[in-house]
Amino acid sequence: MKKKISLVLALGLACSTVLSGCGGSSGETEPQTIAEATTEAPSSEAAEAETEAPAASGAQEMTFIISNEPDGIDPGITNNSFASIFLANCFEGLVTYDSTGTVVGGNAESWDISDDGTVYTFHLRDGLKWSDGSDLTANDYVYAMQRVLDPATGGQYVDILTAYIKNAKEYYSGEATADELGIKAVDDQTLEITLIQPTSFFIDLLTMWVFDPVQQATIEANGDQWTASADTYICNGPFKITEMNMGESMILEKNENYWDAANVTLDKLTLRYVLDTSTALTAYESGEVDGIRNIPSADYARLKAENAGVQTVPNYGTVWYNINCSKEPYNDPLVRKALNLAIDRQSIINNVVQVDATPAYNFLAPGYVVNGKDITEGRSDRGLGPNADPEAAKAALAEAGYPNGEGFPTIQLSYYADDTVKKVVEAMAEMLQTNLGVNVEVTSNDWAIFYENVQNGDYDVAAMGWTADYTHPMSFLPLLVTGDANNNSFYSNPEYDALVEQAKSETDPEVAADLILQAEDVAMDEYPFINLYYKTNDFLMKDYVKGYYMLSNGNLCFKNVTISK
């Protein structure tokens, strides 16, 4: 649920994330990126691995509760965020994020990039093996990516490959052969990927699980069913699945064939599905389980006060409300500015959502670092503040031709069936009515209907937001590009489109960052969204569990976990 529940929980949860096979603590290599940029995603102090390795004591086993069953655990097929806990711990791709959110080598020990920035050559580690003990070679990567590019696979992230890899789109539509495709195994340990054009964030993209290798033998023998039983679920990460109980639990055990198995301490990780978050919390508080993934929002403040093990990690995503920029009177930036000024963000964070979050005045979440500096530092606040500014809001609305809200049509505020979103929407409706003197009508639908309406432009203001697939602003920017499939606020500005296009192929990260910020300035000065706050991920973990870390893409990694009771 799945995707809809994912949105249901969107206020605190990643919608769709990236697979990083959890960074290596040993064998770290210096990534040789063109301009030596480092891409860092901050991970919270609280959730970060302890600096000193604690002594392991007691059984190295733990139980962690998750509330949602993913739609599948095939890395080539799913784009479902609930799969991340399985894929991040059972698979590892060419590169991965370490506990600080830095891109490091995963299966690849090192890589070279051609001078023109279009050919990436990866050198795999020696002796890589699948969980069944067979050899893992560069050909497995070629197979996995060709499989994603086969329409019969039904891969949901296929666009990530077709947008950047040479001839991938043509291969997908049957117009190019495997020989022409820009993915080649030079030898067993060398993989060469050729891009359409220089793409400075391609290494970041490679942390996504759609690039993970899958084993040809098991897929050919079992088809789609290979992910349905523990025996056939062959993987290559720190853990392997040893038991699958449908709808109940998945049992992960240490994968002895993982290249860095010597540094994996945890023997057994039971991931138990408990749909009801209150039940999960009771189980945690009575000591039956060691951690839970979702905290009921009503209990957040109390648990925090009791030091019960609340972990809050920034998530590379933003909660916002779309404004339909193609519709009268919302096509006027002044109207959109008025709506923005009328919202008391701090009050929504403190009193409605009740989480530790930062008010958002822009749509790019903090978290992307170039040369040691978060590029979002020192951005304009677009004249907005944590609290509402009714005077300025009314003035903007008057300037747009609606003094005191007179003559302004009733605002349709749409949302999808979800308790938290409902409360936020009600608070926003109240703020808009009081501060602008306009009428607001709230409408709710289930996710499938709501989202179809939004895509068809059948709304005024709608609950939305975004969680990035990879930690780079380019995962956000297309949302406002004219004609993009995900641009459902229908904002359009040729200047913005041109800047994004330029940023996409710019290989110098500093220049690219500058272009990205310019693009954001252009769009945000016209208020296509009501940005509310930057997302966080919250979960609970007992204090005797050490060494886990959650990345800003929402992946919770157990690779370095030790239990010291």
Q: Compare residues 187 and 288 and give the one whose CB is closer to another protein.
A: 288
DSSP conformation class of 111: E
Shortest Å distance, C-beta 262 to another protein? 33
Q: For tokens 């891109």, what's the residue?
A: 103
Shortest Å distance, C-beta 36 to another protein? 32
Shortest Å distance, C-beta 10 to another protein? 8
Q: Compare residues 112 and 452 and give the one whose CB is closer to another protein.
A: 452
Q: How far apart are CA 423 and CA 429, in angstroms?
A: 10
Residue 493, SS3 per DSSP = coil
Cα 447–chain centre separation: 19
Q: Compare residues 160 and 342 and give the one whose CB is closer to another protein.
A: 160
Q: Compare residues 277 and 536 and give the one whose CB is closer to another protein.
A: 277
Shortest Å distance, C-beta 503 to another protein? 21
DSSP class per residue in 409-478: PPEEEEEES-HHHHHHHHHHHHHHHHHH---EEEEEE-HHHHHHHHHTT--SEEEEEEE-SSSSGGGTGG
Q: Compare residues 275 and 442 and give the one whose CB is closer to another protein.
A: 275
Q: How far apart are CA 320 and CA 262, in angstroms?
A: 44
Q: How far apart are CA 346 and CA 37, in angstroms?
A: 35
Contacts of 521 (CB under 8 A, 6+ apart): 380
DSSP class per residue in 192-243: EEEBSS--TTHHHHTTSGGGS---HHHHHHHGGGGGSSTTT----SSEEEEE
Q: How far apart are CA 476 and CA 171, in angstroms?
A: 27
Token code pair at residue 459: 């709304």
Q: Compare residues 88 and 250 and give the one whose CB is closer to another protein.
A: 250
Shortest Å distance, C-beta 65 to another protein? 8
Shortest Å distance, C-beta 282 to another protein? 5
The answer to whether the CB of 126 falls within 8 A of the CB of 189 is yes
Shortest Å distance, C-beta 136 to another protein? 22
Q: Compare residues 6 and 376 and give the one whose CB is closer to another protein.
A: 6
* Nearest to 95, CA basis, from 77, 107, 84, 111: 107
Q: Compare residues 159 and 501 and give the one whose CB is closer to another protein.
A: 159
Q: How far apart are CA 445 and CA 457, in angstroms?
A: 15
Contact set with another protein (CB under 8 A): 1-4, 6-7, 10, 15-16, 69, 71-72, 74, 77-80, 151-152, 154-156, 158-159, 172-173, 223-228, 245-248, 272-276, 278-280, 282-283, 285-286, 288, 446-449, 451-452, 455, 485-486, 488
Q: Compare residues 141 and 172 and give the one whose CB is closer to another protein.
A: 172
Token code pair at residue 182: 């820009």
The answer to whether the CB of 108 falls within 8 A of the CB of 187 is no
The answer to whether the CB of 196 falls within 8 A of the CB of 92 is no
Q: Compare residues 226 and 300 and give the one whose CB is closer to another protein.
A: 226
Shortest Å distance, C-beta 361 to another protein? 24
Shortest Å distance, C-beta 251 to another protein? 13
Shortest Å distance, C-beta 244 to another protein? 10
CA distances from 462 to 25, 127, 414, 442 (A): 43, 51, 5, 10
Shortest Å distance, C-beta 528 to another protein? 17
Q: Compare residues 6 and 414 and give the one whose CB is closer to another protein.
A: 6
Shortest Å distance, C-beta 417 to another protein? 8
Exposed (0-12), middle (13-18) or buried (19+): which is 423, by Cβ within 10 Å? middle
Q: Compare residues 75 and 359 and give the one whose CB is closer to another protein.
A: 75
Shortest Å distance, C-beta 113 to another protein? 28
DSSP class per residue in 54-96: PPPBS-SEEEEEES---S---TTT---GGGHHHHHHH---SEE
Q: Compare residues 37 and 77 and give the one whose CB is closer to another protein.
A: 77
Q: What is the largest CA-CA distance in the chain?
A: 73
DSSP class per residue in 502-533: HHHH--SHHHHHHHHHHHHHHHHTT--EEEEE
* Nearest to 63, CA basis, from 309, 274, 303, 227: 274
